[in-house]
Amino acid sequence: MARTPTHADGYDAKGARRIYPSPENNKGPILEVLKTVLPSSGFVLEVGAGSGQHTAHFAAHFSGLEWQATEPEPDLRTSIAAWIDYAGIENAPAPLELDCREDHWPVDQADAVISSNMIHISPWASCVGLIAGAARILGKGGILYIYGPFSEGGVHTSPGNANFNAALKSRNPEYGVRDLDDVTTLAKDHGFALERRVSMPSNNLSLIYRKS
Ligand SMILES: C[S@@+](CC[C@H](N)C(=O)[O-])C[C@H]1O[C@@H](n2cnc3c(N)ncnc32)[C@H](O)[C@@H]1O
């Protein structure tokens, strides 16, 4: 018989909102960076929003922005919707289905695209899809924000990141910590310049690309 999920399983008591430690820990530091980057009004597309913990936290702070979460996994879209409902926020519409590798996204214009902890837990094609899609929907001056672990110059920046990379690759050989140079070269090919990189807790980076 199915067991009612509990907080310890990563769910709230009703089993609707998934609660994971990683977004709980990094939502504060990411928000501090986003405060310095995002406009006060406009449209933000969140790619690979996962549980929705970020969506609820960020949308609540940026009440002048329309915050559109997207996520390919149906169960996670249910969790995102539950977080939006729980947080009582009105500037976050229902989550949309999006695998960023698709050529056609459900939104054709945005002021910013953000994606955290996605490009390493997915094949490289997802990083290509994220950047190509962001380039299609962002206008001049639009922001692409990417958060996660990165190697630099082909070298892992900590033993923890090297171990994490090995664990990712044992799960799926196409996964892996991406190199900052590879991502920035790809972004440049799509019309983005790396405006800022911010060191984050636990050897992660915030990368802020702006479309020219
Ligand atoms: C580790 S979770 C991170 C979730 C959330 N952004 C966070 O930081 O807590 C990675 C998410 O990316 C999504 N994802 C993986 N590949 C994707 C793709 N090609 N396009 C869009 N989302 C993708 C997964 O379904 C998952 O929800």
The CATH number covering residue 26 comes to 3.40.50.150
In a domain, 101, yes or no: yes
- Distances from the Cα of 186 to the Cαs of 53, 177, 180, 181, 203, in angstroms? 29, 15, 10, 8, 22
Using the atom order of ligand 1, give the atom closest to the CA of residue 20.
9
Q: Are strands 204-211 and 192-200 parallel, antiparallel or unpaired?
A: antiparallel
Tokens coding 175: 């996964």
What contacts 202, CB < 8 A, 6 or more positions away? Answer: 25, 26, 160
In a domain, 62, yes or no: yes
For residue 49, the CA-to-ligand 1 centroid distance in Å is: 6
How many other C-beta atoms can be found within 10 angstroms of the C-beta atom of residue 200? 17
**Mean pLDDT of all residues in 137-143:** 98
In sequence order, the β-bridge partners of residue 68 are 45
For residue 115, the CA-to-ligand 1 centroid distance in Å is: 8
Reply yes or no on whether the pLDDT at 8 is more than 60: no
Answer yes or no: are the C-beta atoms of 130 and 119 closer than 8 Å: yes
Residues with CB under 6 A from ligand 1: 22-23, 47-50, 54, 71-73, 76, 98-101, 116-118, 121-122, 126, 129
Using the atom order of ligand 1, give the atom closest to the CA of residue 73.
25
Band (pLDDT 50/70/90 cuts) for residue 15 is confident
In a domain, 5, yes or no: no
What pLDDT score does 9 carry? 60
Band (pLDDT 50/70/90 cuts) for residue 6 is low
In a domain, 4, yes or no: no
Reply yes or no on whether the pLDDT at 12 is more than 90: no
Please tell me the pTM assigned to this model.
0.95
Reply yes or no on whether the pLDDT at 36 is more than 70: yes
In a domain, 8, yes or no: no
Using the atom order of ligand 1, give the atom closest to the CA of residue 23.
9
Q: How far is 73 from 51, CA to CA, in rounded Å?
A: 10
**Mean pLDDT of all residues in 38-43:** 97
In a domain, 81, yes or no: yes
What pLDDT score does 208 carry? 98
Give 88-126 pLDDT, tens digit per residue.
999 999 999 999 999 999 999 999 999 999 999 999 999
Band (pLDDT 50/70/90 cuts) for residue 5 is very low
Q: How far is 52 from 168, CA to CA, in rounded Å?
A: 22
Q: Which domain holds residue 28?
A: 21-211
For residue 18, the CA-to-ligand 1 centroid distance in Å is: 14
3-state secondary structure of 141: strand
How many domains is the chain built from? 1
For residue 76, the CA-to-ligand 1 centroid distance in Å is: 9
In a domain, 16, yes or no: no
